[in-house]
Structure 1
């Protein structure tokens, strides 16, 4: 009889473990108060800041890719896998510091950790020692495990919004253009913005199109709005950690979105001949079936001196992109200032204007097919004959006007109209 009950207990245990493994049932860890809920978590050595661990099944064996910001001198870090039904297992991480840190002492890094055998887990920790009191370590839930089903075709990843950003009108117009072109999700990293823009963002969050990710990078490091370290040697990381946000957005949407755009809030990948991104990508994939990365020339558009009937939002703070019809005829640095559309399941590391590690080929899309429309509200310091009248955006003016007006009417009563940019 004792043997019978023993066999029953073993069978029940095996079935339970199998259920956990295949269905990924979450079991709350014993030290659940240590679960990290912030976008950025400092490890305590003032040299390592963890963003999130992501399950990465690509390659010969699955790994956990921990996205982090580290000091370039860091040489040793460990992943602690918290096994559900056994003790924790430590694995030394392979540290892969991205090459594009623009000479700043801190940069984006991947901590690559191999999954230990016979360890069913949901949480890991990271530390610079493999012999420490693990009960005090922050717990990070491993994301993308198992991979999700793709829910949208296009996600727009917008890197850090910072300062007292109060460009209400362009924020609305950009998001509405993304929606018109086929975006199913917009993921935006926000360090700081004006309360007016914050209310606009909240509107889109409630609508369901926008995902706002808090990005308090300046609480941990001295940040810079300059590209290179030699511009200000007191800063520790460049451009509010922009490369870290883009890589996190890439992995955050890897198994949620078929394609991912990487750009800023004042930029729109604009089809020239076709009407939306779906048609554009169908065309490009037929021509370049082996490409996983598509580059778009960044074209700066300046406001025209001529006022048009499209200048109907004079009481709203911000830039009206429909008035930006003067384009530079010649693109400066055409091979270093592109914006990206990627298949996120074939990209391992990205920078701002180029992909660092990928599978597949890279294709530069011709300006006859599509461009990156970049509206700058400044007076062009170039000869008039170097500017071309380009009203490609006006193909969308009726829908854009109607949709923007709808949002403006919704948020107008709650924003402070005395603030202008």
Structure 2
């Protein structure tokens, strides 16, 4: 009996111990979490946000060029209240049934006597299609006939960029969504005249509902198109920090894929509200080329769809920014008489009062030439940056001489986006007469890249130290961005010296 009593006494104790065995680890985990939250709260918030962003949408990039962890430091949020943080988004590209047409995006264009919706599209140039536009306006369906215009800059690829212009019906002055079908296709049944459900699967949202002429969210926005197989981390950081020094408020990247290190940097600038990354999925639908001519790369569409991306960026920011620059990541438009675009543009507007588009001469600084600046000038030391993949623009201060053959080629532009209809790789297609060529002594473009004149000797290159005049501010800013992106150790320093 004593033995039975002892068993009965022990049994509740065992039950309590068993409960404690499960509860103790939980208490430990909660305690550690609280400690981590207390001491590194901002870091954990950013990590969880980054994790959520990664798992909440499907990655379709090259497995070896994937997204890495997000911005990890509290200082990534500096000035966040001044800029809008836009999470990475993927464009929803829609096919036009029975055709070789793909719809990229739709924008209300207020610059015509009769309002129109402009659909940016990719089309097979050899195919002739009559389009019918279906509008959704307060859940009711309206119809008009669409007119397609293929851009002349297609570089002889089978596919090209097109604008499909859809006049807005009088009974639907503020369409929320639109889609396009071939006029040869049978109109889908809708006995009640309604748009139906699941609009996002069959229609594209119509943006730019309100036209603006002032009070823009941004003063300067830069469109950087078609990032693919990208690993040039250092030059990207330097370019973005240089743009900040020049007065840029927003940069837009159309990304196909990039290295994990690049993704960390993109996440950092996205969390700051300085960068918007748009996932560019066009290669799922069209066989895009990695070259700008058919002989430079197999495919059916020019250079990863660069031109439709530039057109989308122009219209996406038409009423968000006062000025828009269309350029590549390895290009910088530097004023020569003043320090920033904020000071440059008023000078240009005064000099060219009626002009809304400014073209800047291309100057190539070959990355194959690493020469010291002439005495007594010295470049800042770059030892720490050697641990980061990519080009150091401060190592390449000698440019190729300008030759007549290429003088007016490969330039880039800053525009009033509301004055432009069709941008292209270099300049605009419409209206052509609106652009002015800017004297190189006022401002010019610095293009740090592979040589265009590879047979030049070092003695034939021309020194230009303009970039060095920004280095005292540039170097620490780049260091901070790399450290906060976990691309440089916390204790590494990079001291600027003259």
TM-score, scaled relative to structure 1: 0.84
1:190 aligns with 2:251: no
Deviation, 1:37, is 6.7
1:306 aligns with 2:372: yes
Deviation, 1:402, is 1.2
Query: Which among 47, 61, 74 is matched to residue 128 of structure 2?
Result: 74
Q: Report the 3-state secondary structure (helix = DSSP H, G, I; strand = E; otherwise coil) of the residue aligned with 1:59.
A: coil
**Hey, what's the Cα distance between the residues in 1 that align with 2:331 and 2:269?**
18
* Structure 1 pair 314–37 and aligned structure 2 pair: CA distance change class (3 A): closer
State the match for 1:210 in structure 2. Answer: 275
1:326 aligns with 2:392: no
Deviation, 1:380, is 4.2
Deviation, 1:323, is 1.0
1:151 aligns with 2:206: no
**Hey, what's the Cα distance between the residues in 2 that align with 1:121 and 1:61?**
14
**Hey, what's the Cα distance between the residues in 2 that align with 1:133 and 1:125?**
12
**Hey, what's the Cα distance between the residues in 1 that align with 2:99 and 2:261?**
34
* Count of paired positions: 377
**Hey, what's the Cα distance between the residues in 2 that align with 1:364 and 1:290?**
13
* Structure 1 pair 195–46 and aligned structure 2 pair: CA distance change class (3 A): farther
**Hey, what's the Cα distance between the residues in 2 that align with 1:388 and 1:408?**
31
- Do the aligned partners of 2:362 and 2:409 also contact (CA within 8 Å) in 1? no
| Equivalence map 1:341-356=2 (5 Å) | 341-356=414-429
Residue range with higher mean Cα deviation, 245-254 or 324-333: 324-333
Higher helix share: 2
- Do the aligned partners of 1:310 and 1:323 also contact (CA within 8 Å) in 2? no
Residue by residue over 1:119-152, the C-alpha shift from the partner in whole angstroms, topping out at 9 and shown as x without a partner, is 2531111111363326587111110002355111
**Hey, what's the Cα distance between the residues in 2 that align with 1:277 and 1:144?**
26
State the match for 1:111 in structure 2. Answer: 164
Residue range with higher mean Cα deviation, 300-309 or 209-218: 300-309
**Hey, what's the Cα distance between the residues in 2 that align with 1:402 and 1:51?**
39
Deviation, 1:217, is 1.7
Deviation, 1:82, is 1.6
Unaligned 5+ segments in structure 2 are 1-88, 190-195, 374-378, 490-498
Residue by residue over 1:192-248, the C-alpha shift from the partner in whole angstroms, topping out at 9 and shown as x without a partner, is 11111011001000000000011112111111122223545x511010111111110
1:406 aligns with 2:465: no
State the match for 2:52 in structure 1. Answer: none
Deviation, 1:362, is 1.3
* Structure 1 pair 37–239 and aligned structure 2 pair: CA distance change class (3 A): closer
| Equivalence map 1:351-366=2 (5 Å) | 351-358=424-431, 361-366=434-439
State the match for 1:247 in structure 2. Answer: 311
State the match for 1:97 in structure 2. Answer: 150
Residue range with higher mean Cα deviation, 194-203 or 112-121: 112-121
Q: Report the 3-state secondary structure (helix = DSSP H, G, I; strand = E; otherwise coil) of the residue aligned with 2:414.
A: strand
Residue by residue over 1:61-98, the C-alpha shift from the partner in whole angstroms, topping out at 9 and shown as x without a partner, is 21111111111113211210123264x12211110111
- Do the aligned partners of 1:40 and 1:215 also contact (CA within 8 Å) in 2? no
1:132 aligns with 2:187: yes
**Hey, what's the Cα distance between the residues in 1 that align with 2:357 and 2:267?**
31
Which structure: larger Rg? Answer: 2
**Hey, what's the Cα distance between the residues in 2 that align with 1:414 and 1:310?**
16
State the match for 2:21 in structure 1. Answer: none
* Structure 1 pair 276–94 and aligned structure 2 pair: CA distance change class (3 A): same
* Structure 1 pair 39–293 and aligned structure 2 pair: CA distance change class (3 A): farther
State the match for 2:176 in structure 1. Answer: 122
**Hey, what's the Cα distance between the residues in 1 that align with 2:363 and 2:424?**
19
- Do the aligned partners of 1:330 and 1:386 also contact (CA within 8 Å) in 2? no
- Do the aligned partners of 2:124 and 2:160 also contact (CA within 8 Å) in 1? yes
**Hey, what's the Cα distance between the residues in 2 that align with 1:359 and 1:102?**
18
| Equivalence map 1:259-298=2 (5 Å) | 259-298=323-362
